[in-house]
Amino acid sequence: MIVTDIRGHRLTGASAPAARHYDAAVQQLVLLRDDPVATVDAALTDSPDFVMAHALKAWLHLLGTEPAGLPVARAALAGVADRAATAQERGHVAALAHLVDGRWHAAARVLEDVTIAHPRDLLALFAGHQLDFFRGDSRMLRDRIARARPAWSPAVPQHHAVLGMAAFGLEETGAYAEAERAGRAAVETEPRDAWAQHAVAHVMEMQGRTEEGIAWMRRRPDAWSDGSFLAVHNWWHLALYHLERGEIDAVKALYDGPIRGGQATLILEMIDASAMLWRLHLRGIDVGDRFAVLADAWEPVAGAGLYAFNDVHAVMAFVGAGRPDSAARVMEAQRVAMAGPGDNAAFTREVGRPVTEAIVAFGEGRFAETVRLLRTVRGIAHRFGGSHAQRDVIDLTLIEAALRAGDGGLAAALAAERTAAKPESPLARLFRLRAETLGAAA
């Protein structure tokens, strides 16, 4: 008997009950909620030779960029290497083999071919979309999904997930109105779609629509936060709006509550925590012992050298906590990464290392050096991943460093640039006033 997934793709080695577990786990993954690892393990308990269940387990342990996920993913991949029976399954296996060895670009390219042939392979679409995000490839964030959309309709299960991914890709390429329409349509269909919720939040962040953004995120927080492993990031987006408005008490309350209150140690959540504390630090706001507590969480992975974007955020915490030895451990891991194989060598060499050095320089009061380093990379910062909103911390650090270095001309130019992008931005207005004051005093 041929067993298929809910969208008609053949599943080698699966029983009908195992296929139902697999479909449920894929749904949990694209909704970014509950426990898809436990669900796929149930599929494997029923059907140990289930190829796509092993592949899904590997994806689940790789897409979090956790060092501890690599051995689990390797074991899962070893369980399917010789069993894949369809070209679609072999594509997943090949992509996973690239990724476990650090070949991010090759993995994304293989999945591109899988979804060209099988545009309703939701796992391949979602994994590829995440790889595009981690690689900072905004064009593929948009186009990978655009290619598949004609094969989808509201009649196809989990259509909302394709709308949500389309929304994020459109936002990252500046098509804000179209992105917002797609994201809102996805959330209307499936209010628990945290990725779609987040895509609309990005639109409002990029356009400086802070009041609307706060209303959007506070409208139904239970839907996108309860049971979601994207909840911290979405709460972070809400805090960004409040920070832009200068509402520091609200930012601290969100940080101490849903962003960091649970003391989570997942790297993607620690990135959000570092990014928020660093933004507060740039504004001269006392954050108490928060940096120290966060730095403790970063310590076990400081020497991983797995992904440059993570390294930068670890160093933010270490610099904020006054731990130069820990920052040095990250930089040593970067040195090893730059000399090694895999795409992270370039991620680190081109962007991660100079940004890390700039953060260390800022912490030591060498503001002119921070300016020099960041000006060389801000135009290519997408090459080490993240979103426009996340990488904005580079521009914020550059502006603050220019102000503290006494470079009124550059600070004024950067403030004007920011004002042009967000005309109603209170923060841009503050930068402009500080630059004018600096220029008048010169």
Q: Rounded to whole angstroms, how far apart are CA atoms 268 and 385? A: 13
- pLDDT of 442 strictly over 70: no
Sign of CA dihedral 66, 351, 115, 110: negative
Q: Rounded to whole angstroms, how far apart are CA atoms 352 and 337? A: 11
Query: What is the percent of the chain with per-residue pLDDT over 70, rounded to a whole number?
Result: 100
Q: Rounded to whole angstroms, how far apart are CA atoms 112 and 295? A: 37
Per-residue model confidence as pLDDT tens digits over 24-57: 999 999 999 999 999 999 999 999 999 999 999 9
pLDDT value, residue 3: 97
Rounded to an integer, the average pLDDT of 106-123 is 98
pLDDT value, residue 341: 93
Q: Rounded to whole angstroms, how far apart are CA atoms 71 and 124? A: 21
pLDDT value, residue 262: 64
pLDDT value, residue 439: 80
Residues 398/375, Cβ–Cβ less than 8 Å: yes
Per-residue model confidence as pLDDT tens digits over 243-289: 999 999 999 999 999 998 767 779 999 999 999 999 999 999 999 99
Radius of gyration of the chain (CA): 22
Per-residue model confidence as pLDDT tens digits over 137-182: 999 999 999 999 999 999 999 999 999 999 999 999 999 999 999 9
- pLDDT of 397 strictly over 80: yes
pLDDT value, residue 121: 98
pLDDT value, residue 112: 98
- pLDDT of 376 strictly over 70: yes
Q: Rounded to whole angstroms, how far apart are CA atoms 352 and 383? A: 9
Query: What is the percent of the chain with per-residue pLDDT over 90, rounded to a whole number?
Result: 96
pLDDT value, residue 358: 98
Per-residue model confidence as pLDDT tens digits over 298-315: 999 999 999 999 999 999
- pLDDT of 225 strictly over 90: yes
- pLDDT of 441 strictly over 80: no
Residue-averaged pLDDT of the chain: 97
- pLDDT of 86 strictly over 70: yes
Phi-psi region of 144 (alpha: psi -120 to 50; beta: other; left: phi over 0): alpha
- pLDDT of 377 strictly over 80: yes
